[in-house]
Chain A
Amino acid sequence: MRARVYVTLKPSVFDPQGRVVADALVTMGYQDVQDVRQGKFFEVEIAATDAATAKTRVTEMADKLLANPVIESYRVEVLP
Protein backbone atom coordinates (compact mmCIF):
# COMPACT_ATOMS: atom_id res chain seq x y z
CA MET A 1 0.00 0.00 0.00
CA ARG A 2 1.03 3.58 -0.44
CA ALA A 3 0.83 6.26 2.23
CA ARG A 4 1.48 9.95 1.92
CA VAL A 5 2.98 12.05 4.69
CA TYR A 6 2.82 15.84 4.71
CA VAL A 7 5.20 17.55 7.10
CA THR A 8 4.89 21.28 7.82
CA LEU A 9 6.42 23.65 10.33
CA LYS A 10 4.07 24.43 13.20
CA PRO A 11 2.33 27.81 12.80
CA SER A 12 4.31 29.17 15.78
CA VAL A 13 7.66 28.43 14.09
CA PHE A 14 9.01 31.07 11.70
CA ASP A 15 9.76 29.65 8.25
CA PRO A 16 12.64 31.65 6.69
CA GLN A 17 12.62 29.53 3.53
CA GLY A 18 8.91 30.06 2.96
CA ARG A 19 9.39 33.80 3.45
CA VAL A 20 12.14 33.94 0.84
CA VAL A 21 10.01 31.99 -1.65
CA ALA A 22 7.10 34.37 -0.98
CA ASP A 23 9.38 37.37 -1.54
CA ALA A 24 10.59 35.86 -4.82
CA LEU A 25 7.03 35.29 -6.00
CA VAL A 26 6.13 38.91 -5.24
CA THR A 27 9.25 40.06 -7.11
CA MET A 28 8.13 37.94 -10.09
CA GLY A 29 4.92 39.92 -10.17
CA TYR A 30 2.63 37.76 -8.06
CA GLN A 31 1.64 40.72 -5.89
CA ASP A 32 -1.31 38.76 -4.51
CA VAL A 33 0.94 36.29 -2.63
CA GLN A 34 0.49 36.86 1.10
CA ASP A 35 2.53 34.04 2.63
CA VAL A 36 4.26 30.76 1.76
CA ARG A 37 5.05 27.94 4.16
CA GLN A 38 7.50 25.31 2.91
CA GLY A 39 7.15 21.68 3.99
CA LYS A 40 8.08 18.12 3.09
CA PHE A 41 6.16 15.39 1.31
CA PHE A 42 6.86 11.66 1.56
CA GLU A 43 5.40 8.65 -0.25
CA VAL A 44 5.86 5.46 1.72
CA GLU A 45 5.33 2.05 0.13
CA ILE A 46 4.36 -0.33 2.88
CA ALA A 47 3.49 -4.02 2.94
CA ALA A 48 0.18 -3.94 4.80
CA THR A 49 -3.06 -5.79 4.27
CA ASP A 50 -5.41 -3.05 5.42
CA ALA A 51 -5.46 0.73 5.47
CA ALA A 52 -5.85 1.02 9.24
CA THR A 53 -2.65 -0.94 9.89
CA ALA A 54 -0.78 1.04 7.26
CA LYS A 55 -1.94 4.31 8.79
CA THR A 56 -0.87 3.25 12.30
CA ARG A 57 2.55 2.16 11.12
CA VAL A 58 3.24 5.22 8.96
CA THR A 59 1.98 7.57 11.68
CA GLU A 60 4.51 5.98 14.02
CA MET A 61 7.26 6.52 11.42
CA ALA A 62 6.25 10.15 10.98
CA ASP A 63 6.35 10.72 14.71
CA LYS A 64 9.71 9.01 15.21
CA LEU A 65 11.62 10.11 12.11
CA LEU A 66 9.90 11.88 9.24
CA ALA A 67 8.85 14.84 11.37
CA ASN A 68 10.40 16.48 14.41
CA PRO A 69 7.36 17.03 16.66
CA VAL A 70 9.18 19.88 18.45
CA ILE A 71 8.86 22.11 15.38
CA GLU A 72 6.75 20.22 12.85
CA SER A 73 3.23 18.86 12.38
CA TYR A 74 2.38 15.98 10.08
CA ARG A 75 -0.61 14.49 8.34
CA VAL A 76 -0.79 10.90 7.10
CA GLU A 77 -3.13 9.62 4.41
CA VAL A 78 -3.32 6.09 3.04
CA LEU A 79 -4.22 5.78 -0.63
CA PRO A 80 -7.12 3.47 -1.47
Chain B
Amino acid sequence: MKFAVVVFPGSNSDYDAFYAASSVLGEDAALVWHKDTDLQGADVVILPGGFAHGDYLRTGAIARFSPIMASVQAFADRGGPVLGICNGFQVLLEAGMLPGAMVRNDRIKFVSRLVPVRVEQTDTPFTVACTSQQVLYMPVAHGEGNYYADPETLAALEANRQVVFRYADAAGEVSPASNINGSLNNIAGICNRQRNVVGLMPHPERATEAQLGSADGRVILASAVKALASLSR
Protein backbone atom coordinates (compact mmCIF):
# COMPACT_ATOMS: atom_id res chain seq x y z
CA MET B 1 0.00 0.00 0.00
CA LYS B 2 1.01 3.59 -0.49
CA PHE B 3 1.11 6.63 1.79
CA ALA B 4 1.04 10.15 0.35
CA VAL B 5 2.50 12.84 2.60
CA VAL B 6 1.50 16.36 1.59
CA VAL B 7 4.27 18.95 1.74
CA PHE B 8 3.19 22.55 2.39
CA PRO B 9 5.71 25.38 2.47
CA GLY B 10 6.57 25.35 6.17
CA SER B 11 5.79 21.69 6.82
CA ASN B 12 8.51 20.23 9.03
CA SER B 13 7.30 16.74 9.92
CA ASP B 14 6.76 15.72 6.31
CA TYR B 15 9.96 13.73 6.11
CA ASP B 16 9.35 12.17 9.55
CA ALA B 17 6.02 10.84 8.27
CA PHE B 18 7.61 9.71 5.00
CA TYR B 19 10.39 7.95 6.94
CA ALA B 20 7.92 6.26 9.32
CA ALA B 21 5.79 4.97 6.44
CA SER B 22 8.64 3.88 4.19
CA SER B 23 11.61 2.92 6.37
CA VAL B 24 9.85 1.86 9.58
CA LEU B 25 6.73 0.23 8.15
CA GLY B 26 8.29 -0.71 4.82
CA GLU B 27 5.37 0.62 2.78
CA ASP B 28 5.44 2.73 -0.36
CA ALA B 29 5.39 6.44 0.34
CA ALA B 30 5.46 9.63 -1.69
CA LEU B 31 5.95 13.27 -0.79
CA VAL B 32 3.34 15.35 -2.65
CA TRP B 33 3.85 19.10 -3.13
CA HIS B 34 0.90 21.25 -2.08
CA LYS B 35 0.58 22.79 -5.56
CA ASP B 36 0.08 19.39 -7.15
CA THR B 37 -3.38 17.92 -7.53
CA ASP B 38 -2.39 14.27 -8.01
CA LEU B 39 -2.22 12.07 -4.92
CA GLN B 40 -0.25 9.53 -6.97
CA GLY B 41 -2.59 6.64 -6.37
CA ALA B 42 -2.09 6.72 -2.61
CA ASP B 43 -4.22 4.58 -0.29
CA VAL B 44 -3.65 6.83 2.73
CA VAL B 45 -3.04 10.58 2.89
CA ILE B 46 -1.11 12.28 5.69
CA LEU B 47 -1.17 16.03 6.33
CA PRO B 48 2.01 16.48 8.37
CA GLY B 49 3.05 18.78 11.19
CA GLY B 50 4.85 22.07 10.87
CA PHE B 51 3.89 25.65 10.17
CA ALA B 52 2.23 25.57 6.74
CA HIS B 53 2.44 28.98 5.09
CA GLY B 54 4.08 30.25 8.27
CA ASP B 55 0.79 29.78 10.15
CA TYR B 56 0.00 33.29 8.90
CA LEU B 57 -3.50 34.57 9.71
CA ARG B 58 -4.42 31.41 11.67
CA THR B 59 -2.87 27.94 11.79
CA GLY B 60 -3.97 26.06 8.68
CA ALA B 61 -6.00 28.98 7.34
CA ILE B 62 -4.00 29.48 4.14
CA ALA B 63 -3.05 25.82 3.64
CA ARG B 64 -6.67 24.80 3.19
CA PHE B 65 -6.67 26.72 -0.11
CA SER B 66 -3.61 24.89 -1.50
CA PRO B 67 -4.47 23.12 -4.79
CA ILE B 68 -3.82 19.66 -3.31
CA MET B 69 -6.58 20.15 -0.72
CA ALA B 70 -9.37 19.74 -3.30
CA SER B 71 -7.88 16.33 -4.13
CA VAL B 72 -7.57 15.47 -0.43
CA GLN B 73 -11.21 16.46 0.10
CA ALA B 74 -12.33 14.32 -2.87
CA PHE B 75 -10.21 11.41 -1.61
CA ALA B 76 -11.85 11.69 1.83
CA ASP B 77 -15.32 11.95 0.27
CA ARG B 78 -14.69 8.59 -1.42
CA GLY B 79 -13.92 7.13 2.02
CA GLY B 80 -10.13 7.33 1.75
CA PRO B 81 -8.29 7.45 5.08
CA VAL B 82 -6.80 10.88 5.87
CA LEU B 83 -4.63 11.59 8.93
CA GLY B 84 -3.87 15.14 10.01
CA ILE B 85 -1.00 15.39 12.49
CA CYS B 86 -0.58 18.58 14.55
CA ASN B 87 -0.52 21.34 11.91
CA GLY B 88 -2.22 18.84 9.58
CA PHE B 89 -5.04 18.55 12.16
CA GLN B 90 -5.30 22.35 12.19
CA VAL B 91 -5.56 22.35 8.38
CA LEU B 92 -8.40 19.78 8.52
CA LEU B 93 -10.24 21.98 11.04
CA GLU B 94 -9.85 25.11 8.91
CA ALA B 95 -10.93 23.16 5.82
CA GLY B 96 -14.09 22.08 7.63
CA MET B 97 -13.18 18.41 7.16
CA LEU B 98 -13.29 18.08 10.95
CA PRO B 99 -15.45 20.15 13.32
CA GLY B 100 -14.18 22.76 15.79
CA ALA B 101 -11.13 25.01 15.90
CA MET B 102 -7.83 25.52 17.70
CA VAL B 103 -7.00 28.44 19.94
CA ARG B 104 -3.80 29.27 21.81
CA ASN B 105 -2.78 26.90 24.58
CA ASP B 106 -4.01 28.07 27.94
CA ARG B 107 -1.14 29.41 30.09
CA ILE B 108 0.41 30.59 26.77
CA LYS B 109 3.03 27.86 26.73
CA PHE B 110 4.40 26.14 23.66
CA VAL B 111 4.23 22.53 24.87
CA SER B 112 6.98 20.26 23.59
CA ARG B 113 7.32 16.92 25.37
CA LEU B 114 6.34 13.26 25.37
CA VAL B 115 2.78 12.90 26.71
CA PRO B 116 0.49 9.96 27.46
CA VAL B 117 -2.58 9.85 25.25
CA ARG B 118 -5.53 7.49 25.74
CA VAL B 119 -7.08 5.80 22.71
CA GLU B 120 -10.86 6.22 22.98
CA GLN B 121 -12.04 4.61 19.74
CA THR B 122 -10.59 1.68 17.86
CA ASP B 123 -12.95 1.72 14.87
CA THR B 124 -11.07 4.29 12.80
CA PRO B 125 -8.46 3.43 10.14
CA PHE B 126 -5.77 4.92 12.38
CA THR B 127 -6.63 3.13 15.63
CA VAL B 128 -7.88 -0.26 14.46
CA ALA B 129 -4.64 -1.94 15.64
CA CYS B 130 -4.88 -0.28 19.08
CA THR B 131 -6.62 -1.72 22.10
CA SER B 132 -9.45 0.22 23.70
CA GLN B 133 -8.22 2.70 26.34
CA GLN B 134 -4.62 1.94 25.39
CA VAL B 135 -2.18 4.60 26.60
CA LEU B 136 0.31 5.74 23.96
CA TYR B 137 3.33 7.95 24.64
CA MET B 138 3.76 10.40 21.80
CA PRO B 139 5.49 13.78 21.56
CA VAL B 140 3.53 17.00 21.24
CA ALA B 141 5.03 20.27 19.98
CA HIS B 142 2.47 23.02 19.59
CA GLY B 143 1.47 26.47 20.77
CA GLU B 144 -2.04 26.27 19.43
CA GLY B 145 -3.53 22.90 20.33
CA ASN B 146 -6.29 24.07 22.63
CA TYR B 147 -9.29 22.40 21.02
CA TYR B 148 -12.53 24.38 20.98
CA ALA B 149 -16.01 23.61 19.69
CA ASP B 150 -19.35 25.14 20.61
CA PRO B 151 -21.41 23.15 23.17
CA GLU B 152 -23.69 21.58 20.54
CA THR B 153 -20.74 20.42 18.39
CA LEU B 154 -18.93 19.08 21.44
CA ALA B 155 -22.01 17.14 22.56
CA ALA B 156 -22.41 15.68 19.06
CA LEU B 157 -18.73 14.65 18.98
CA GLU B 158 -19.14 12.77 22.26
CA ALA B 159 -22.50 11.24 21.32
CA ASN B 160 -21.15 9.99 17.98
CA ARG B 161 -17.94 8.65 19.57
CA GLN B 162 -15.82 10.99 17.46
CA VAL B 163 -13.31 11.75 20.21
CA VAL B 164 -10.52 9.36 19.29
CA PHE B 165 -7.70 10.48 21.64
CA ARG B 166 -7.60 12.27 25.01
CA TYR B 167 -4.70 13.63 27.06
CA ALA B 168 -4.37 11.31 30.05
CA ASP B 169 -1.88 10.36 32.73
CA ALA B 170 0.35 7.27 32.71
CA ALA B 171 -2.47 5.18 34.19
CA GLY B 172 -4.87 6.33 31.48
CA GLU B 173 -6.75 8.62 33.83
CA VAL B 174 -8.23 11.66 32.09
CA SER B 175 -8.39 14.72 34.37
CA PRO B 176 -7.79 18.47 34.33
CA ALA B 177 -4.26 17.70 35.58
CA SER B 178 -3.51 15.64 32.47
CA ASN B 179 -4.84 18.35 30.16
CA ILE B 180 -1.67 19.83 28.69
CA ASN B 181 -3.17 22.74 26.72
CA GLY B 182 -6.70 23.51 27.87
CA SER B 183 -8.51 21.46 25.21
CA LEU B 184 -12.20 20.90 25.91
CA ASN B 185 -12.82 17.43 27.37
CA ASN B 186 -9.04 16.75 27.15
CA ILE B 187 -9.43 16.23 23.40
CA ALA B 188 -6.17 15.30 21.66
CA GLY B 189 -7.74 13.92 18.47
CA ILE B 190 -11.07 13.46 16.73
CA CYS B 191 -12.57 11.90 13.61
CA ASN B 192 -15.34 12.89 11.23
CA ARG B 193 -18.81 11.30 11.23
CA GLN B 194 -17.71 8.79 8.56
CA ARG B 195 -14.64 8.00 10.74
CA ASN B 196 -12.17 7.97 7.82
CA VAL B 197 -10.71 11.44 8.54
CA VAL B 198 -8.73 11.64 11.79
CA GLY B 199 -6.80 14.56 13.26
CA LEU B 200 -4.58 14.59 16.34
CA MET B 201 -2.10 16.99 17.92
CA PRO B 202 0.46 14.41 19.15
CA HIS B 203 3.04 13.16 16.64
CA PRO B 204 2.83 9.38 16.08
CA GLU B 205 5.38 9.62 13.25
CA ARG B 206 8.00 10.98 15.68
CA ALA B 207 7.53 8.00 18.00
CA THR B 208 8.02 4.95 15.84
CA GLU B 209 11.34 3.62 17.13
CA ALA B 210 12.63 3.07 20.66
CA GLN B 211 15.68 5.27 19.92
CA LEU B 212 13.29 8.21 19.55
CA GLY B 213 12.06 7.79 23.12
CA SER B 214 8.89 5.91 22.22
CA ALA B 215 7.73 3.50 19.56
CA ASP B 216 4.09 3.86 20.61
CA GLY B 217 3.13 5.95 17.59
CA ARG B 218 3.90 3.15 15.20
CA VAL B 219 0.54 1.49 15.90
CA ILE B 220 -1.28 4.54 14.46
CA LEU B 221 0.33 4.13 11.04
CA ALA B 222 0.26 0.34 11.29
CA SER B 223 -3.49 0.64 11.86
CA ALA B 224 -3.88 2.17 8.40
CA VAL B 225 -2.04 -0.80 6.89
CA LYS B 226 -4.28 -3.19 8.81
CA ALA B 227 -7.46 -1.28 7.89
CA LEU B 228 -6.62 -1.35 4.19
CA ALA B 229 -5.61 -5.00 4.27
CA SER B 230 -8.99 -5.93 5.74
CA LEU B 231 -10.75 -3.83 3.08
CA SER B 232 -8.98 -5.52 0.17
CA ARG B 233 -9.66 -9.01 1.52
Contacts and interface: CB of A to CB of B under 8 A. Distances in A.
B101 A17 contact: no
Contact of A16 (B57, B100, B104): B104
A68 B108 contact: no
Interface stretch (A7-15, A26-34, A50-58): A7-15
Give the interface residue-count category, chain A.
Answer: 10 to 19
B150 A12 contact: yes
B103 interface: yes
Given A68-B101, A71-B101, A14 B106 contact: yes
Chain B contact residues (Cβ within 8 angstroms of A): what range?
Answer: 10 to 19
A79 interface: no
Contacts of A15: 103-104
B150 A16 contact: no
A39 B26 CA distance: 46
Contacts of B148: 13, 70-71
A46 interface: no
Interface of A: 9, 12-17, 20, 65-66, 68, 70-71
Interface of B: 57-58, 61, 93-94, 99-101, 103-108, 146, 148-150, 182
